[in-house]
């Protein structure tokens, strides 16, 4: 593990192989970030990157959340198989099995193979235990209960593929809230409907799910909105167009930008939208 102090923010890079038996490095180290000088929120911001992306690619966002008083983790995990691999499947459980395999390590998907050791859940639990032991001054122990993540203190977030994994975790555990950026993509094109798992009753209340999308996303913003409506138990879409730096009023759960860029899918992670990130993370929820 190495650390770097910059503008008060402490950045830890942890080799996944050091955290537990059978755990492999996929793209690079896990990233763990906090600001010892910030007023602590006693909440962990867990971020899951999109397809083929490293944990390091999310460092800018991690630094922002650390500056707001959160502990932040971006997890290195098996994200090399794109979620839309199930889009044209005639099996309505394809997306469900895909998510379950990556999140839990269950051998249920023909699209992806992830063993239990390398599942998101095990990789996170092992990383937290590692941080508790090797960075005792970092306060990571508050996010661990009996060796497992203290989910009620964790904001689970993700971009693209990671957005769907964040939502899936929110179904399994009662988390502080779920933040989805440019996703999920779990729409069955052949059946013309959202993947059924998204409507399934879950541990986290639908009122704690938030999404930030782009109007011109190549993965189809209308499908993303339909997915979000299932996750949020909405009959009508609660959407709001947002601009960089502008205040956001009211209670909105699906936020949409039309920022002038060629990177429509990645725009939700642009630092210009810190106002939207903070709104999603801090607006009061039931």
Return the CATH architecture of domain 2-203+218-227.
3-Layer(aba) Sandwich (3.40)
- Alpha-helical runs (H) found in 92-251: 94-104, 120-134, 161-172, 221-231
Between 204 and 8, where is the model more confident? 204
List of residues 6+ apart from 219 with CB closer than 8 A: 84, 160, 182, 183, 185, 265
The whole-angstrom separation of Cα 177 and Cα 60 is 21
Torsion over CA: 187, 266, 65, 274 (sign): negative
Q: Which of 256, 259, 253, 257 is nearest to 281 (CA)?
A: 253
pLDDT of residue 286: 84
Q: Which residues, in sequence order, are bridge partners of residue 241?
A: 256
The token pair that represents 1 in the structure block: 């593990």
Torsion over CA: 189, 193, 197, 202 (sign): positive
- Are the CB atoms for 86 and 43 separated by under 8 Å? no
- Are the CB atoms for 223 and 164 separated by under 8 Å? no
The whole-angstrom separation of Cα 130 and Cα 177 is 24
Q: Name the percent of the chain lying above pLDDT 70.
A: 98
What is each CA distance from 60 to 52, 74, 226, 233, in whole angstroms? 18, 11, 29, 32
Q: Is the pLDDT of residue 61 over 80?
A: yes
The token pair that represents 31 in the structure block: 């990233």
pLDDT of residue 2: 37
Confidence class for position 7, pLDDT limits 50, 70, 90: low
- Are the CB atoms for 86 and 184 separated by under 8 Å? no
Q: What is the pTM of this model?
A: 0.96
Q: Is the pLDDT of residue 4 over 80?
A: no
The whole-angstrom separation of Cα 279 and Cα 236 is 21
Q: How many CB atoms lie within 10 A of CB 63?
A: 18
- Are the CB atoms for 155 and 176 separated by under 8 Å? yes
The whole-angstrom separation of Cα 177 and Cα 211 is 11
Kind and range of the H or E run holding 63: helix 59-67
pLDDT of residue 114: 98
Q: Is the pLDDT of residue 104 over 90?
A: yes
Burial of residue 48 (number of CB atoms within 10 Å: 0-12, 13-18, 19+): buried
Burial of residue 137 (number of CB atoms within 10 Å: 0-12, 13-18, 19+): exposed
pLDDT of residue 5: 41
pLDDT digit string (tens) for 127-184?
Answer: 999 999 999 999 999 999 999 999 999 999 999 999 999 999 999 999 999 999 999 9
Q: Is the pLDDT of residue 37 over 50?
A: yes
Could you give the count of Cα atoms lying within 13 Å of 96 in the half-sphere of its Cβ? 13
The whole-angstrom separation of Cα 177 and Cα 286 is 10
């Amino acid at each position: 593990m190495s650390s770097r102090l910059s503008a008060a923010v402490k950045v830890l890079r942890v080799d996944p192989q050091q955290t537990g038996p059978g755990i492999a490095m996929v793209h690079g180290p896990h990233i763990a970030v906090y600001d010892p000088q910030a007023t602590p929120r006693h909440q962990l911001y867990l971020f899951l990157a999109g397809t083929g992306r490293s944990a390091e690619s999310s460092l800018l966002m991690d630094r922002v959340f650390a500056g707001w008083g959160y502990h932040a983790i971006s997890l290195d995990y098996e994200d090399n198989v794109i979620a839309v691999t199930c889009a044209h499947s005639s099996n309505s459980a394809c997306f469900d099995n895909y998510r379950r395999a990556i999140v839990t390590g269950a051998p249920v998907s023909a699209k992806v193979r992830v063993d239990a050791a390398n599942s998101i859940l095990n990789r996170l639990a092992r990383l937290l235990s590692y941080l508790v032991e090797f960075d005792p001054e970092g306060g990571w122990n508050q996010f661990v209960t009996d060796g497992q993540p203290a989910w009620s203190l964790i904001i689970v977030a993700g971009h693209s593929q990671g957005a769907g994994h964040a939502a899936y975790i929110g179904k399994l555990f009662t988390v502080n809230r779920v933040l989805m950026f440019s996703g999920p993509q779990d729409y069955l094109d052949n059946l013309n409907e959202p993947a059924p798992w998204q409507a399934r009753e879950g541990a986290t209340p639908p009122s704690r799910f938030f999404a930030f999308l782009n109007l011109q996303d190549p993965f189809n913003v209308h499908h993303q909105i339909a997915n979000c409506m299932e996750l949020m138990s909405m009959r009508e879409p609660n959407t709001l167009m947002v601009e960089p730096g502008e205040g956001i009023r009211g209670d909105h759960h699906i936020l949409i930008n039309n920022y002038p860029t060629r990177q429509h899918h990645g725009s939700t992670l642009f630092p210009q939208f810190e106002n939207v990130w903070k709104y999603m993370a801090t607006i009061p929820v039931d």
